[in-house]
Amino acid sequence: MLAASRAVRRLAGVMLVLALLGIATAQTRVTFSYTPPPEAPAITEITVPGSFNGWDTGAMPMARQMDGSWTVTVELEPGRHEYKFFINGAWPSNMCNDPTWGDPERNFWIDPAADGCVGDGFGGQNAFRDIGLATVPEVGPGVLHSPDNPAHLSRAGGRLSLRFTANRDQVVSAEAVVAGVSYPLHRQLAYRAREVWRVALPTEASSYSLRLTTTEGLLELGPFTVPNELFIDLPWVGSAIGYQIFPERFWDSNPAHDLDQLAQIALDTDYYHFLSERIWRQTWGDLKPTFTPGWGNELMRFHCCHQYFGGDLDGIVQRLDHLQALGVTMIYLNPIFHAGSAHGFDKFDHLQVAPEFGGREALQRLRDATRERGMRLLWDFVPNHVGVGHWAFQDAVKNGRASPYWDWFRFRVEPGQIEVGNGEHYGSWWGIGSLPELETRNPAVMAHLLEVTRYWTEFGFDGIRVDVPNEIRNRQEFFTAFRDTARAVNPEVYLVGEIWQRNPTWLQGNKFDSLMNYAIGRGVIAPFASGAMAGDSAAEDMAILYAEYPEASVSMQFNLISSHDTARLLSEMGGGPLFATPSPESLARHRLAAAILYALPGMPVTFQGDECAFLGAGGGPREENRYPLQWGKCNQEMVAHYQQLGTLKNNLPALVSPVIRNISGAGPLLAFHRGEPGPGELLAAFNHAATPQTLALPQGQWRDAVSNETLSGSLTITGFGWRYLQRE
């Protein structure tokens, strides 16, 4: 409670800052409507779970109308909102193609009013609607451009990034005119029926005009005024190499010490002690939290959450030589604060470092040791929910409406009736009763979370990764204030949102710098490298994302393939489950995937142990991908591969550029350019087939960045191979 009282004492000052921000959130009334097709089964009930209500299947019931349709009307903030119709107690897999519930006259879309669909993270598709977002004006026939749209104008790589979109093959040439000087644009990206043209301008430009030669003749557009406020990248991010650490399973700095002290702390504070016995038994039966000595050994059924191995922050310090040899300059730490489980996403106190990790003193040692090596630290922020042992939740359960924290949560039963752990008794994340949700629309809650943001930024963290931001109910208000709070302390703090799908609405310069780029890592790289996706499909998906994202954000993308929430990369490439012996092909595909990751603009992020070719499946209570790292079994050939990629990232200027161009693919081949056109630009090419493939080269001389071989005309890429070529 010491940290709780400290937070409360500072609350008044932070609430004043919050009020001074003067954030107004305009909401729009939105009606969701569903008309079942004639052949659909009988319907008993429909609800609308979505990102706007925490995916609560009971929060938004639809009402049946006289014409047979079902409707519900709500108010939503501006932004992209994902959702599904929950029909007769079940989820349709794909909102944009479902033969059972979709309309056959509209390509089986369940909701024709949706703006589109994106992956739901489980192999299906969520529908989405973009609410209250300004559309990009058509400034000429088929030509879209607006200087107020960050996707068309932002600042990246020390230059002004100017772009417009046009119909495919409509524009022959284009130039931007600034103060009488012409700057030629190049065709950057092409996808479906559209293409993107781009040029980098001097940052001092205050206005510009566009002159396009089209198939219909000359088109002069503008002048356009450069806005006073632009989305600007942080230069350090694009040159960084990232590494994700799940501290409990990374390394135990002192196993003998853990046996009699730190391990007992973890067991004594596990949420097992807070849940009702009925709820615990419902999930885990007779199992109880346990410490497993020996850094590995037995893997139990509740390995995900209540099996402790003793990893700590000093263990990270002991392994910094390994990370530095990989070229790592940014470390992303999964939750390190006092919590009720091994995964740490159920915070008991946002301001107290977990005692079993060594407390604040160990975190200070890690901060100082990384600074000495030129490394930065990023912490994991969970503003949506806490754990059942959180001081405010415990006070509210104990004192009911007399508690100053009663309104910090959404209780559904009367005081005295609350069963701790019962997700039906209070709002909780995905109905999991051990994770009560905070009511962030309460000014006191919001002020407390902003104080947490300020506190750890002042401590010296260089970045913040935010867990499930799409489930914050007042997300527009909250994340604008969040950005302002963090940037007021450190103008270069890096802000990343855990959004799994392609979603540019979060990247407008007022919320996040980047999203966790699963949309490329898991949506493109993993399926392409495994051989499940053809090159043309991979190229198209990549082009769409880079066309929609502002180049300032592209420059800072948090690029990853695997994480604590997914299977390990080698397992994804066919290497097998934990303890299996991976095949040579799976190892080669792993290397291919990593080479694509390092070739992208932004920061490549490796999940701990992937560089060692460790195996493990994600999901379920075992979460084998989080098994303690067996450092003695680290594959040194794979480590050398990652070291080589790190060296290339550091030595090739094009790999630090925000620019990605000319993405193309066919069959087993995928290729793209990095950097501005001309000498020094990089061509990255990849082959997911087992047999060698030939790729025609653009005109000119190219030097292989690995072999130093000079090439022209064409090149051969070995089976499961990759090449980085630099234009001479």
The tally of CA atoms less than 13 A away on the side-chain side of residue 638 is 24
CA distances to 187, 451, 529, 601, 697 from 664, rounded to whole Å, are 13, 46, 15, 16, 12
Q: How many CB atoms lie within 10 A of CB 27?
A: 13
What are the residue ranges of helices labelled H in 270-390?
277-284, 313-318, 320-325, 359-372
Closest CA to 658 of 645, 644, 673, 641: 673
- Which positions ≥6 away from 8 have C-beta within 8 Å? none
Q: Which two tokens stand for residue 423?
A: 């997700």
Task: Count CB neighbours of 609 within 10 A.
Answer: 28
Is the pLDDT confidence value at 21 over 50?
no
| DSSP structure class, residue 173 | E
- Is 498 one of the catalytic residues? yes
pLDDT value for 15: 41
Q: 70-74, 168-172, 317-321, 640-644 — which is least confidently predicted?
A: 70-74
- Which pLDDT does position 27 carry in this prediction? 72
Q: Which residues pair with 165 in a beta bridge?
A: 144, 196
Residue 6 pLDDT greater than 50, yes or no: no
- In the chain, the largest separation of any two C-alpha atoms, in whole Å, equals 80
pLDDT at 260: 59
User: Which pLDDT band holds residue 23 (cuts at 50, 70, 90)?
Assistant: very low
* pLDDT of 94 over the 80 cut: yes
The per-residue pLDDT for 5 is 33
Strands 330-333, 376-381: pairing is: parallel
C-alpha–C-alpha distance, residues 449 and 453, integer Å: 6
> Encoding tokens for residue 455?
């506190």
- Whole-model pTM: value is 0.88
Contact present, 139 and 187 (Cβ < 8 Å): no
- Per-residue pLDDT band for 53 (boundaries 50, 70, 90) equals confident
**Residues 588, 719: contact at Cβ < 8 Å?**
yes
Instruction: Tell me the per-residue pLDDT of 707-726, one tens digit each, with 9 for 90 and over.
Output: 999 999 999 999 999 999 99
Indicate whether 54 pLDDT > 80. Answer: no
What integer pLDDT is reported at residue 223 of this predicted model?
A: 97
Q: What is the mean pLDDT of residues 376-405?
A: 98
* CA–CA distance, 274 with 698 (Å, rounded to integer): 64
pLDDT value, residue 11 = 39
Map tokens 């067996």 to a residue.
630
Q: Which residues of 140-167 are buried (b: 16+ CB within 10 A; e: fewer)?
A: bebbbbbbebbbbbbbbbebbbbbbbbe
d(CA 580, CA 137): 55
pLDDT digits (tens, 9 = 90+) for 657-686: 999 999 999 999 999 999 999 999 999 999
Instruction: Say how many Å lie between the first and final Cα of the chain, rounded.
Output: 63
Run of H or E including 449: helix 443-459
pLDDT tens figures, 451-496: 999 999 999 999 999 999 999 989 999 999 999 999 999 999 999 9
Q: Which residues contact 534 (CB under 8 A, 6 or more apart)?
A: 528, 665, 666, 667, 668
Q: Which two tokens mark 695?
A: 């790729």
Q: Report helix, strand or coil for 545.
A: helix
DSSP 3-state assignment of 481?
helix
Backbone angles phi, psi at 347, to 5 degrees: -60, 135
CA distance 187 to 164: 10
φ/ψ of 650, rounded to 5, equals -75, -30
Cα separation, 520 vs 559, whole angstroms: 8
Reported as a single tens digit per residue, the pLDDT across 214-224 is 999 999 999 99
Residue bearing the bigger pLDDT, 592 or 16? 592
What's the confidence (pLDDT) of residue 26?
58
Domain 138-229: give its CATH architecture: Sandwich (2.60)
pLDDT tens for each residue of 312-322: 999 999 999 99
Q: What is the pLDDT of residue 252?
A: 93
Domain boundaries, the chain: 35-131, 138-229, 658-727
How many angstroms separate the CA atoms of 236 and 602, rounded? 10
pLDDT value of residue 7: 37
- Asked, as a colleague might, if the bond just before 37 is cis with ω within 30 of 0, I would say no
90 pLDDT band, cuts 50/70/90, is very high
Residue type, 466: V
Q: What digits encode the pLDDT tens for the residues 193-244?
A: 999 999 999 999 999 999 999 999 999 999 999 999 999 999 999 999 999 9
Share of the chain above pLDDT 70, in %: 95
- Are 587 and 593 contacting, i.e. CB atoms less than 8 angstroms apart? no
Q: Taking residues 536-561, what's their average pLDDT?
A: 97
Domain 138-229 in the same topology as domain 35-131: yes
d(CA 517, CA 597): 11
Starting at the earlier edge strand, list the strands of the sheet with 514-515.
514-515, 494-497, 463-466, 376-381, 330-333, 242-245, 603-607, 558-559
Residue 554: pLDDT over 70: yes
Q: What is the per-residue pLDDT across 63-88, written as a single tens digit (0 to 9) for each?
A: 998 888 899 998 887 778 889 999 99
Active-site residue, selected from the candidate residues 380, 498, 513, 541: 498
Instruction: Answer yes or no: is pLDDT of 1 > 80.
Output: no
Residue 596 has pLDDT above 70, yes or no: yes
Radius of gyration from C-alpha coordinates of the chain: 26
Between CA 668 and CA 683 the distance in angstroms is: 17
Cα(511)–Cα(233) distance, rounded to whole angstroms? 13
Q: How far is CA 671 from each of CA 283, 518, 662, rounded to the nearest angstrom?
A: 48, 19, 8
User: What value does the mean pLDDT of the chain take?
Assistant: 92
* H-run or E-run covering 144: strand 143-144
5: tokens are 């009282």
pLDDT exceeds 60 at position 18: no
Angle among Cα 397, 398, 403 to the nearest 5 degrees reads 80
DSSP conformation class of 37: -
User: What is the third-level CATH fold of 35-131?
Assistant: Immunoglobulin-like (2.60.40)
pLDDT tens string 105-124: 777 889 988 888 887 767 78
Identify whether 467 is a catalytic site residue.
yes
Residue 387 to residue 403: CA distance in whole angstroms: 18
Specify the range with the lowest mean pLDDT, choosing from 130-139, 431-440, 489-498. 130-139
Q: From the candidates 467, 513, 551, 611, give the one annotated as an active-site residue.
A: 467
Task: Find tokens 């949700």 and name the residue.
Answer: 437
For residue 19, pLDDT beyond 60 = no
What pLDDT is recorded for position 67? 81
For 361, other C-beta atoms within 10 Å of its C-beta total 11
Query: CATH class for domain 658-727?
Result: mainly beta
- For range 56-62, the mean pLDDT: 87
Whether 604 shows a pLDDT value over 60: the answer reads yes
Question: Are 168 and 208 contacting, i.e. CB atoms less than 8 angstroms apart?
Answer: no
* Contact criterion met (CB below 8 Å) for 693 and 705: no
What's the pLDDT at 258?
55
The crossing angle, in degrees rounded to 10, of helices 636-651 and 584-599 is 20
pLDDT tens digits, residue range 510-536? 999 999 999 999 999 999 999 999 999
Q: Of the given ranges (125-139, 519-533, 554-568), which has the lowest mean pLDDT?
A: 125-139
Residues 6+ apart with CB under 8 A from 368: none
